[in-house]
Structure 1
Amino acid sequence: MSAVPHVDDPRVRVALPELLALRSRVMRAPAPPVVSRAARSGQRPGRLHGRGMDYAESRVYQAGDDVRRMDWRLTARSGVAHTKLFQEEREGRLLVLLDTNASMRFGTRGRFKSVQAARVAAMAAWYAIRGGDRVGVLAFGGQRQLLRPQGGPRGALALCGALATWDAMPPGTDESLSAALQRAGRLMHGASRVLLVSDGFAVDPAAHGRMLGLVNKAEVRVVAVADPLELAEPPPGRYPFSQGGVHVDIALHGERQRAEFAQALGSGHQRLGALAAQLGLRQRTVDTTADPLDAIVDLLGPGRGR
């Protein structure tokens, strides 16, 4: 697959219509848990039990809301169903930490890793707003951008638009994961959950300490995006690669040659997996041909745990 694609090719460029269309897929998935939103550093708040909480505000009704907390007066005035939120139910915040380094612009099957990462981020956003969370995204690497968390469908729409816009911009220089985590720690904007989406090539020795600091502030989950060629030793053959207009054919016939190639190509995924394992973080691997929804539900949905 070429690294210098046609701009309209959705396999190699993030397409906004595709990210918006993912909403219908997500809406058919098991609903996220409805939890209280008490602000406690480094913890997800627990489930609600009973009444007597202070009223905070009302928002548009979302699937899964308790009908006993309907704001009937505002619903009658506006013609749109609204739910009351109480002091302990203030919306949580999910911050997607998205890798946009040059290594993400690679793919041999399905799509580029950068496109799959955007699909993961969009699905996470559509899923999180079902549970009442605000959603935002911090891009690191070639793009160093921040979209502050916003609530409801408007927040997911803004995130999808940002992903498509950033993907079309000229990339800057690469950035290490430790530097990205340092910025994330300063720009959390009250996020109670962080979803790291990366191929792992940005993982550096300092990332462990930075990630530990982030884990003390929020619930962190990891999605490793990988090309199938990075996950298994390739069969014998010749493999064409294109980078910056330069085309190279790599011949992989011998067992040792193929093993060394697989080790080099899969080193990012291995480093990211090792980092998550060392810190006890929940993680899932999504290759460039897969549907990311199962991974999103597993990490953000019912039954998730530390």
Structure 2
Amino acid sequence: METADILRKVRKIEIKARGLSRDIFAGQYHSAFKGRGMAFSEVREYQYGDDVRDIDWNVTARFHHPYVKVFEEERELTVMLLVDVSGSLDFGTVNQLKKDLLTEIASTLAFSAIQNNDKIGVVFFSDHVEKYIPPKKGKKHILYIIREMLDFQPESKRTNLGNAIEFLTKVMKRRCTSFILSDFYVKDDFKDALSIAANKHDVVAIQVYDPRAKELPDVGLLKVLDPETGHEMYVDTGDKRIRNAHKQYWLDRQEKLSDIFSKCSVDNVAIGTDEDFVRRLLFLFAQRNK
């Protein structure tokens, strides 16, 4: 992709993502993703009903009158995006490629993060960690991340989610909020890695998918390609049994994913390329606030 084209796309995504994060997600993001705890803010005179355990004895002794410590939520977060860059994301039959949808979602989350003064970093992964961008603050950093998502060329087209999750656990020493953005077309068993990561961090799974993954149209003989292996084959979509088997495969796969997320206590949402991702993210935020 030419540099001028990349810059135009970056600017277009920036305008949309900044608007969404400012006008729609600001409050929901803040309440859905809490800080690390309570941090000391100031002292004030003791008032009836205050917890005596909050008395600052040094200040009290100095002024010969009881003073208490005031705490507020420590809001600053470190947000990590685990971004799938494998070959299966280069697919789309409706409004856009899965990769494009993933980029828009990641960009919106990134701008929501910096509006709350959070640091944000990225792990690009295929069947190995392709690139790690350490967490930082600022608009310039966000635009660099978006540019990388638009133009990044992975070494591999295959996927191994477990490797990426294990990398997150090793590299992030302190608790962070981590979004896994993927279509979750993975063959590795990532459950153990996810369970360990979820015990240490706040992990959220965002699945992007194309509606054709759920249901095949009746369009006769169709040539299909596995973008991760390069394997080609013909599918007779006119055969109802094949269409039903395809649908059942999707349902079984989603049930398995749902079971893994549930057992690992990972909040999750699935967003189609034919859907309004804003509505689906707001649904996710609302679920976390219950």
Partner Cα separation in structure 2 for residue 305 and residue 243 of structure 1:
39
Aligned to 2:148: 162
Unaligned regions of 5+ residues in structure 1, if any? 1-6, 9-13, 38-42, 54-85
Report if the CA contact (8 A) 1:94-1:191 is conserved.
no
Of 126, 136, 139, the residue aligned with 1:150 is 136
Mapping of 1:280-291 within 5 angstroms?
280-291=265-276
Higher relative contact order (CA 8 A, sep 6+): 1
Aligned to 2:26: 31
Aligned to 1:45: 36
Provide TM-score, normalisation by structure 2.
0.73
Deviation at 1:294, TM superposition (A): 2.9
Aligned to 2:12: 18
Bigger helix share: 2
Deviation at 1:30, TM superposition (A): 4.0
Partner Cα separation in structure 1 for residue 30 and residue 246 of structure 2:
46
Report if the CA contact (8 A) 1:223-1:286 is conserved.
yes
Partner Cα separation in structure 2 for residue 201 and residue 246 of structure 1:
15
Aligned to 2:217: 235
Deviation at 1:274, TM superposition (A): 3.0
The 3-state SS of whatever aligns with 1:129 is: helix
Partner Cα separation in structure 2 for residue 296 and residue 47 of structure 1:
27
Mapping of 1:225-304 within 5 angstroms?
225-231=208-214, 233-238=215-220, 239=222, 241=224, 250-264=235-249, 269-299=254-284, 301=285, 304=288
The 3-state SS of whatever aligns with 1:24 is: helix
Give the share of equivalent positions with the same residue, in percent. Answer: 20
Q: Classify 1:249/1:158 alpha carbon distance in 2 versus 1 (closer, same or farther; 3 Å).
A: same
Aligned to 2:159: 175
Partner Cα separation in structure 2 for residue 155 and residue 229 of structure 1:
35
Deviation at 1:246, TM superposition (A): 9.5
Deviation at 1:109, TM superposition (A): 1.2
Report if the CA contact (8 A) 2:84-2:124 is conserved.
yes
1:174-219 CA deviation, whole Å, 9 max, x = no partner? Answer: 23111111111122264520001111112532x1111111111111
Report if the CA contact (8 A) 1:226-1:287 is conserved.
yes
Partner Cα separation in structure 2 for residue 115 and residue 151 of structure 1:
24
Provide the alpha-carbon RMSD of the alignment: 3.4
Partner Cα separation in structure 2 for residue 21 and residue 270 of structure 1:
36
Q: Classify 1:223/1:124 alpha carbon distance in 2 versus 1 (closer, same or farther; 3 Å).
A: same
Report if the CA contact (8 A) 2:78-2:118 is conserved.
yes
Aligned to 1:209: 192
Q: Classify 1:154/1:189 alpha carbon distance in 2 versus 1 (closer, same or farther; 3 Å).
A: farther
Of 106, 115, 122, the residue aligned with 1:130 is 115
Q: Classify 1:95/1:87 alpha carbon distance in 2 versus 1 (closer, same or farther; 3 Å).
A: same
Structure 1 or 2, whichever has the larger Rg, is 2
Report if the CA contact (8 A) 1:194-1:220 is conserved.
yes
The 3-state SS of whatever aligns with 1:144 is: strand
Deviation at 1:288, TM superposition (A): 1.0
Instruction: State the 4+ residue runs in structure 1 displaced beyond 6 angstroms.
Output: 47-50, 243-248
Counterpart amino acid of residue 31 in structure 1: A
Report if the CA contact (8 A) 2:91-2:99 is conserved.
yes
Q: Classify 1:289/1:18 alpha carbon distance in 2 versus 1 (closer, same or farther; 3 Å).
A: farther
Of 188, 194, 199, the residue aligned with 2:178 is 194
Q: Mean alpha-carbon deviation: is it higher for 269-278 or for 109-118?
A: 269-278
Deviation at 1:241, TM superposition (A): 4.2
Counterpart amino acid of residue 26 in structure 1: S
Aligned to 1:68: none
Q: Classify 1:266/1:112 alpha carbon distance in 2 versus 1 (closer, same or farther; 3 Å).
A: farther
